[in-house]
Structure 1
Amino acid sequence: MRTISDKQGLTLKAATRRGIDQAGGGDALQHVTRVKAGALSKYATVGEDTADKFMPIDIAVECDLEANSPIIVSAMAAMLGYKLVPADDNAAVSMAPITLRDGLKIANEAADVVKAITEALEDENIDALEKRIITREIDQAMQALQCVLRRIGGAA
């Protein structure tokens, strides 16, 4: 008997889908990993034929690297009752100064979140596709914020 529940399997599938999307999609990700876009799609898809197809750990790490965010690994850690934190804040800090472009990137990403939410609520119901779109936009906004946070050396 498996110890991973159906709900946990769906959580892994959702994190995989988010990671692949954030990494530029399966067509882009396939060029930096050992599997093709079709296999990547199976790892992220819920269905009768793909329910038991999960991303191998080496590909999950490559996906998170390409996404510039530990999306899949964080989902795995959360399932085990853990939370990821950077190993060494100083190692992650870029020497590039923060610019106006960084502020604009954050503003644009936040605006995309607001737009996704307001468009989803036009019919007063948020469906599965709209949830994925909102989640993707939130991921992108968080990535922009985390980038600036790392560059200023974390929380003061």
Structure 2
Amino acid sequence: MPLFDDEVSACAARLLGDSGFTRLLAVPSIPVNSPQGFRYPLRTRTADGSEWYLRSWGTDFRTVSRSWLRRGLCASFSLGWAVMPEGQTDRLLMIEAFGTDGSATAARKESALDAVAPYVCRTTVAEGEQWGRTTLRIAALLRPGPRTTDGSAPRDR
């Protein structure tokens, strides 16, 4: 998982933070029966029969619990490993925001998309309602960070 060790992920994270988004950990998998209701788009069954959500591409995710909203969290993001249609990545950015009305969500959407626009190569957006609030979910694939001629990131030298 990237630890914001390249210019692209560090800049995207900083700009989202500056725009009022709180960074959450990029948990790679969650049990389907999570008591908090967390979920990711991809669901799989393990050899022992248990079902898990895998961090994956799409907007059918929930990375925030209702209790966190009651404590004041209204906009968050996580960046890390995920399953993509074409394979694995360590550059999936998941953004989630909640508002009391459509205009608040629209402003968050504009703020988030503007902040990450220079750093993404693909996005998908979903808006809806959950827990009596308008919701925004964005999945964005960050473009690769700059590399040197030997393949290392600039800070690895």
TM > 0.5: no
Q: Which has the larger radius of gyration?
A: 1
Q: What's the TM-score once normalised by structure 2's chain length?
A: 0.24
Q: By percentage of residues, which structure has more strand?
A: 2
Q: What's the TM-score once normalised by structure 1's chain length?
A: 0.24
